[in-house]
Amino acid sequence: MQVDLLAGTGYRPLALPRPQPTILVFDSGLGGLTVLSRTTQACPGAHIVYAADDAGFPYGRLTEEALVARILAVMERLIARCRPDLVVIACNTASTLVLPALRARFAIPFVGTVPAIKPAATATKSGMISVLATPGTVARVYTRELIETYAGGCDVTLVGATRLAGLAEQALKGEAVDDKALLAEIAPCFVEANGRRTDVVTLSCTHYPLLLERMKRLAPWPVEWIDPAPAIARRVVALLGPIGDAPCPDATAIFTSGAGLSGPLRIALAGYGLAHVAIEPMPLAN
Q: What is the pLDDT of residues 172-202, one digit of tens each?
A: 888 999 999 999 999 999 999 999 999 999 9
Neighbours of 225 (CB within 10 A): 19
Contact, 113 vs 206, CB < 8 A? yes
Rounded to an integer, the average pLDDT of 120-132 is 97
Model pTM score: 0.87
Quick one: residue 54, left, alpha or beta (phi over 0 = left, psi -120 to 50 = alpha)?
alpha
Rounded to an integer, the average pLDDT of 59-79 is 93
- Least confident residue range of 208-212, 249-253, 266-270: 249-253
Confidence of residue 286 (pLDDT cuts 50, 70, 90): low
Tell me whether residue 202 is exposed, middle or buried, using C-beta atoms within 10 angstroms of its C-beta: 0 to 12, 13 to 18, 19 or more: buried
Rounded to an integer, the average pLDDT of 57-80 is 93
Question: Quick one: pLDDT at residue 3?
Answer: 37
Active-site choice (91, 154, 189, 248): 91
Triad 255, 235, 84: Cα angle to 5°: 40
Share of the chain above pLDDT 90, in %: 75
Confidence of residue 32 (pLDDT cuts 50, 70, 90): very high
Neighbours of 169 (CB within 10 A): 23
Rounded Cα–Cα distance for residues 243 and 265 (Å): 30
**Measured in whole angstroms, how far is the alpha carbon of residue 87 from the centre of its chain?**
12
Question: Quick one: pLDDT at residue 215?
Answer: 97
3-state secondary structure of 23: strand
**Is the backbone peptide bond immediately before 249 cis, with ω within 30 degrees of 0?**
no
Question: Quick one: pLDDT at residue 11?
Answer: 47
Cα distances from 88 to residues 26, 184, 258, in angstroms, run 6, 31, 21
**Angle in degrees, 0-180, between the axes of helices 229-240 and 33-42, rounded to the nearest 10:** 40
Question: Quick one: pLDDT at residue 255?
Answer: 97
Per the document, the length of the chain is: 286
Rounded to an integer, the average pLDDT of 266-279 is 92
Asked about 91 being catalytic, the answer comes back as: yes
3-state secondary structure of 50: strand
Tell me whether residue 277 is exposed, middle or buried, using C-beta atoms within 10 angstroms of its C-beta: 0 to 12, 13 to 18, 19 or more: middle
- Least confident residue range of 101-105, 173-177, 182-186, 215-219: 173-177
3-state secondary structure of 190: coil
Residues with Cβ < 8 Å from 4, sequence gap 6 or more? Answer: none
Rounded Cα–Cα distance for residues 80 and 108 (Å): 12
Active-site choice (43, 82, 205, 248): 205
pLDDT at 5 over 70: no
Rounded Cα–Cα distance for residues 151 and 20 (Å): 40
Asked about 82 being catalytic, the answer comes back as: no
| Cα radius of gyration (the chain) | 18
